[in-house]
Amino acid sequence: MKWIIIGALSFLLASCSGDDSSSTHYSFFENSNAFDGIFSEADFDKLFPHANHGRSSSIPDAADKLYSYDNMKKGLDLREGFSIFMSEGDDTIKRLELAAILANWAQETTGGWDAAEDGYTSWGLCWYEEVGARGGGECYFNPDNEYQPSRKPTGDTCFFGRGPIQLSHNANYGAFSAFLYGDMLDLLDNPDAILRDGSLAFASGYWFWTTYKGSPNVPGKTCHEVMVEEGAQGFGKVINIVNGGIECNVALRPLDTELGKKIRNRADHFQYFAEYLGVETELPTRPEGERKDDQIWNDYYRAILVGCIE
C-alpha cells in the first residue's frame, strides 16, 4: 500500500484450503448489489486462480481463505459509507472503477513473476501481508501523529502491509479502526485482526478507496472520485494516491529496474481486468507481443499512466 515497497517475492507458496470461518463481522447493508450483472463469484475465481496461496503462516489463526468473493461482498456491506463504490457514472465508469481497484489490490498482493504459470496478472490476492516485513525491524510507526497504540509496537504488532490494499502505517490502521469501530485502538493494538477476518480485510481496501484524501500528490481526492471524474485516464492518479511517493512523479524508469517493472505491472493489471470486464477500449491500445523497453511500448505505458508518470 502507499509508501510501502513490497519485498522480494518468494515462490514457496503455502497451501490453501477450507472456508473462512473466522469472520466475526456481519453484513448490514446491501452495497454489494453493485456487483450484480457485472462481477460474479465465477469471475472472481477465474481472475484470481492463485488467491490465498500466500497465506500467512506467522499467525496460526489467520483465515484459511482470506480472499474470496463472499468476503469481498461482505466487506463492502460492512458500512453504509462504502455504498459510494460503483454507484456513480454509467456502466462503463462502474466497470472501470472495478477494474482499477482490482488492479491495485492485485499488484499489492501479487505472487506472480515474469514466467509465472497462467501469466503474471493472474497472481493477484496471493499474499496476506507484506513479504519479509514481519520480524524485519521496520514497523512503519510514526510516534508523532494522533493515532497511537497503547504501547510501542514491535514484531507482530508493527504496522506493515496487510490485506488487499496492504494497509500500512499506524495513521492508516488508526483512522480505519476509528471509522469502523469508533475506537482507534481496536486495530492499533491488534493489527493482525485484518488477517483473521476476510470481510475486515476487504473493508480496509474499500475504506482507503472511498475515504482516503491524504495524498499530497492528488490532494483532496479519493480513488473513487478520480475514477468517476476521469475514467480510464484517472488510473495514474489512483496510483499516485496509493503509492505515489515511490512509483510516481518521475519519468518512466527502465523496464529492467525494480520500480520500472513494478509500475508497468500495475498498468498491466489494469489492462487485464479492464479487458475481462469489457471496457478495454477506454484504455490506450496495447501493442502486440511481449513488452519491450522501446518507444512504442513506453509511449503506451506513459499514456495509461498519465497522472503518475511525468
The SS3 assignment for 196 reads coil
Which residue spans within the chain are E strands per DSSP? Answer: none
Compute the distance between CA of residue 47 and CA of residue 214 in angstroms, rounded to an integer: 31
Residue 47 has φ and ψ, to the nearest 5°, of -80, -25
φ, ψ dihedrals at 162, nearest 5°? -140, 145
Place of cell 462504502: 82
Residue 304 and residue 269 in contact, taking contact as beta carbons nearer than 8 Å: no
Active site residue 108: yes
List the catalytic residue out of 108, 129, 225, 247: 108
Of 153, 155, 163, 174, give the one whose Cα is nearest residue 130: 163
The SS3 assignment for 101 reads helix
Q: How far is Cα of residue 136 from the mean position of the Cα atoms in its chain?
A: 22
Question: Catalytic residues, which ones?
Answer: 108
